[in-house]
């Protein structure tokens, strides 16, 4: 009997076939051979087509079956690991409505931060263990606000792994662990976070039915069997996000155990025995794969953007073209601990959550042209990344995680002894290197619900380390180098904060001045109008009252004349916005120009409705017509477009 596992990544689809009885891996493959495309229609956006995942999933399956020659009917279970936090929207016909907004898309950051402020730190952290942040729930809110037609057609929201499971079974389901990674789960109430849904105005019926992580989640349909080459009726019996699944693959299931990876970015994922959160949101907490069996199994995830990408940069920009990573390791081993004072901060891949979302960039300190060589650059780079891991693990220890052993795979930076031993020495922990992958782990896990394994312990019984790194470097030298590195990090963070503080008051003062001036214009106009009414009414006779009504009517009919004065002042405050607007879009009506101005002033829909004497529905219709006239695509934000005029 065989088990099949998949890892649905953003770059490729990996597949593994396992002999259930011997635990031997019979085949490993991936598809496509080149990284999948990422759609980025605007800066900070990242999307992929779910149907492309499905096509590559089918191709990877055919490739694996062809290379192993196994009978598909003997495959008893399928396990799925997938890229976390993505949003897939489907209609009632199970058709995808728009490209998936994937994990590295940052368009919903402001939405999540606003929700965090409005819902309150106490609720978000104590009950959801996280800020809504840039996670799936906030991405769905973005769709609701910016693509209402798509939102109205939506039948269910799915994560990437849920989508693949749906293509295989014809059923739209999710898991509790998946809901936690989307920030849809209330850990205190142990149910869907209805308060967040209500705050965002999201429909509760969009949440798919949750099935257990280890369960018969559906059977392969006839259509899916024809596409994949697998047998109809094969069970889908496991589903989890890539980081919890990676931990499972390494047999990291119990409190105090830690898994780590260091590819382009780095991840440290530790298990704790109670819900924990970080007030600074430097880490995120999600339900681990065994949360349903033990509600005190929480995975705490720390992500480091600047990790392997920094060492890859050094290889391509500094190393000789014929030097491999093994050559770089040999050269680096000739340099003493601390790299003779050369120090590298590897944070050159965007804002670091560990540094409270600051982007301090990469830095090289103390570079001496007369003393330092390529070998020094190699070792200092490895040490800089290792130090960032140590800093991250120290954060996890602050949250109560006791780190004695770290388990890692053998296909990333932990192949470097210098890198691994530096971490091991500073943390006084063992680092165990296990020969496995996420797809293999998913295959093992698939055997539990099918009954091939009695439990997870049996499924993972032969997951043993192939190598172990002990803390055997000179601790004093490592600590001295790490202390200096930490001082450079603090300096970089402080300098970045100082620059931001210097720039922010000027920007805030300008924005506040504009807002106050605009508000004053509205207030003056309103006071003038009310004063005229008050004076007329003080006469208190029928003739005066009649005149009052006439004046009110005249005021309403002369709104266009008053608008001319408002328009003049508005252009002074907003850099001739209305003049530019008329030039770019000469066909806009007066009503549409007013709507643009109010959008520029960032009035709420309710406030705009009051100002323009329209219903909220009327404002929404007006926004829709504006988008059409301006030729905006579904993904473009109207307010952001107006800001650029």
pLDDT, one tens digit per residue, over 369-392 is 999 999 999 999 999 999 999 999
Q: How far apart are CA 167 and CA 223, in angstroms?
A: 9
What is the rounded average pLDDT for all residues in the chain?
A: 89
User: Which band of pLDDT confidence, cut at 50, 70 and 90, is reported for residue 558?
Assistant: very low
Higher pLDDT residue, 610 or 25? 25
Range from 20-29, 298-307, 594-603 carrying the lowest mean pLDDT? 594-603
Please report the pLDDT score of residue 240 as a whole number: 98
Query: Interior CA angle at 87 toward 84 and 91, to 5°?
Result: 140
Tokens of 289: 């794969």
Phi first, then psi, for residue 334 (nearest 5°) are -85, -10
Per DSSP, the residues of 11-22 read S-EEEEEEETTT
Please report the pLDDT score of residue 564 as a whole number: 59
- CB contact at 8 A, 503 and 495: no
Q: Which residues pair with 301 in a beta bridge?
A: 269, 284
144-190 pLDDT tens trace: 999 999 999 999 999 999 999 999 999 999 999 999 999 999 999 99
pLDDT > 90 fraction of the chain, expressed in percent and rounded: 65
pLDDT(425) > 80: yes
- CB contact at 8 A, 247 and 269: yes
Residue 77: how many other CB atoms lie within 10 Å: 29
Q: How far is CA 586 from CA 58, 444, 527, in A?
A: 51, 64, 33
Higher pLDDT residue, 230 or 113? 230
Please report the pLDDT score of residue 268 as a whole number: 94
Q: What is the CA radius of gyration of the chain?
A: 29
Q: How far apart are CA 391 and CA 368, in angstroms?
A: 26
> Where in the chain are the domains?
2-248, 501-643
Q: Residue 87's closest CA among 158, 8, 188, 3?
A: 158
Q: How far apart are CA 521 and CA 514, in angstroms?
A: 11
Residues 420-436, mean pLDDT to the nearest whole number: 95
Per DSSP, the residues of 154-192 read --EEE-HHHHHHHHHHS--EE-HHHHHHTT-EETTTTEE
Cβ-count burial of 79 within 10 angstroms (0-12 exposed, 13-18 middle, 19+ buried)?
buried
15-60 pLDDT tens trace: 999 999 999 999 999 999 988 988 988 888 899 999 999 999 999 9
- CB contact at 8 A, 423 and 430: no
Number of helices (H), then strands (E), in the chain:
24, 23
48-89 pLDDT tens trace: 999 999 999 999 999 999 999 999 999 999 999 999 999 999
Residues 88-93, mean pLDDT to the nearest whole number: 98
Please report the pLDDT score of residue 534 as a whole number: 64
Residues 609-636, mean pLDDT to the nearest whole number: 84
Residue 96 DSSP code: B
Range from 7-11, 49-53, 231-235, 574-578 carrying the lowest mean pLDDT? 574-578
- Residue positions counted in the chain: 645
**pTM listed for this prediction:** 0.73
pLDDT(561) > 60: no
Please report the pLDDT score of residue 579 as a whole number: 87
Residues 428-440, mean pLDDT to the nearest whole number: 94
Count CA atoms within 13 Å of residue 587 on its CB side: 7
Assign domain 2-248 to a CATH class: alpha beta
Q: Residue 462's closest CA among 5, 27, 18, 78?
A: 18
User: Which band of pLDDT confidence, cut at 50, 70 and 90, is reported for residue 416?
Assistant: very high
Please report the pLDDT score of residue 610 as a whole number: 78
Phi first, then psi, for residue 383 (nearest 5°) are -65, -40
Phi first, then psi, for residue 11 (nearest 5°) are -110, -35
481-519 pLDDT tens trace: 999 999 999 999 988 766 555 555 554 554 554 444 444
Please report the pLDDT score of residue 104 as a whole number: 84
Q: How far apart are CA 43 and CA 636, in angstroms?
A: 11
- CB contact at 8 A, 79 and 6: yes
pLDDT(557) > 70: no
């Amino acid at each position: 009997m065989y088990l099949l596992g998949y890892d649905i990544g953003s770059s490729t689809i990996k597949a593994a076939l396992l002999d259930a009885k011997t635990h031997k891996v019979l085949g490993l493959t991936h598809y496509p051979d080149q990284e999948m495309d990422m759609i980025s229609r605007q800066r900070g956006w990242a999307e992929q087509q779910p149907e492309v995942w499905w096509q590559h999933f089918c191709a990877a399956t055919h490739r694996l079956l062809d290379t192993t020659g196994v009978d598909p009917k003997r495959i008893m279970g399928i396990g799925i690991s997938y890229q976390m936090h993505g949003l897939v929207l489907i209609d009632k016909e199970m058709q995808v409505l728009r490209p998936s907004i994937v994990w590295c898309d940052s368009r919903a950051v402001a939405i999540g931060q606003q929700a965090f402020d409005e819902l309150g730190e106490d609720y978000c952290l104590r009950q959801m263990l996280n800020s809504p942040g840039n996670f799936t729930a906030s991405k769905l809110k973005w769709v609701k606000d910016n693509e209402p037609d798509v939102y109205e057609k939506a039948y269910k929201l799915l994560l990437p792994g849920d989508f693949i499971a749906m293509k295989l079974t014809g059923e739209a389901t999710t898991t509790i662990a998946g809901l936690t990674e989307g920030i849809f789960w209330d850990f205190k109430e142990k149910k869907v976070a209805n308060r967040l849904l209500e705050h965002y105005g999201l429909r509760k019926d969009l949440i798919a039915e949750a099935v257990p992580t280890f369960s018969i989640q559906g059977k392969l349909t006839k259509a899916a069997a024809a596409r994949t080459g697998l047998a109809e009726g094969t069970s889908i019996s496991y589903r989890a996000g890539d980081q919890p699944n990676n931990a499972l693959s390494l047999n990291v299931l119990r409190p105090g155990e830690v898994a780590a990876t260091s590819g382009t970015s780095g991840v440290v994922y530790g298990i704790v025995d109670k819900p924990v959160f970080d007030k600074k949101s430097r880490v995120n907490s999600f339900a681990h794969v065994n949360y349903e069996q033990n509600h005190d199994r929480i995975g705490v995830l720390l992500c480091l953007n600047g990790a392997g990408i920094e060492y890859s940069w050094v290889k391509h920009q500094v190393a000789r073209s014929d030097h491999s990573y093994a050559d770089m390791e040999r050269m680096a081993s000739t340099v003493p601990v601390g790299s003779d004072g050369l120090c590298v901060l590897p944070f050159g891949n965007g804002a670091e959550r560990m540094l409270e979302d600051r982007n301090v960039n990469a830095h090289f300190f103390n570079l001496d042209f007369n003393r330092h060589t390529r070998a020094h650059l190699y070792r200092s780079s490895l040490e800089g990344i290792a130090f960032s891991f140590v800093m991250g693990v120290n954060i996890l220890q602050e949250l109560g995680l006791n780190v004695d052993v770290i388990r890692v795979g053998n296909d990333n930076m932990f192949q470097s002894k210098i890198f691994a031993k530096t971490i091991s020495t500073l943390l006084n922990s063992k680092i165990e290197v296990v020969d496995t992958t996420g797809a293999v782990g998913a295959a093992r896990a698939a055997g539990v619900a099918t009954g091939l394994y009695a439990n997870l312990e049996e499924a993972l019984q032969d997951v043993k380390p192939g190598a172990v790194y002990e803390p055997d470097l000179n601790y004093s030298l490592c600590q001295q180098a790490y202390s200096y590195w930490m001082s450079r990090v603090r300096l970089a963070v402080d300098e970045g904060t100082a620059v931001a503080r210097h720039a922010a008051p000027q920007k805030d003062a300008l924005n506040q001045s504009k807002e106050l001036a605009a508000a004053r214009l509205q207030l003056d106009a309103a006071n003038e109008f009310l004063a005229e009414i008050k004076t007329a009414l003080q006469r208190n006779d029928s003739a005066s009252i009649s005149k009052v009504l006439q004046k009110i009517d005249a005021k309403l009919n002369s709104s266009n004349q008053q608008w001319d004065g408002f328009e003049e002042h508005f252009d002074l405050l907003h850099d001739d916005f209305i003049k530019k607007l008329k030039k770019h879009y000469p066909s806009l009506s007066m009503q549409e120009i007013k709507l643009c101005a109010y959008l520029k002033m960032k009035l709420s829909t309710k406030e705009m409705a009051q100002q323009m004497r329209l219903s909220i529905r009327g404002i929404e219709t007006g926004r829709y017509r504006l988008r059409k006239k301006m030729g905006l695509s579904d993904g473009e934000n109207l307010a952001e477009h107006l800001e650029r005029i």
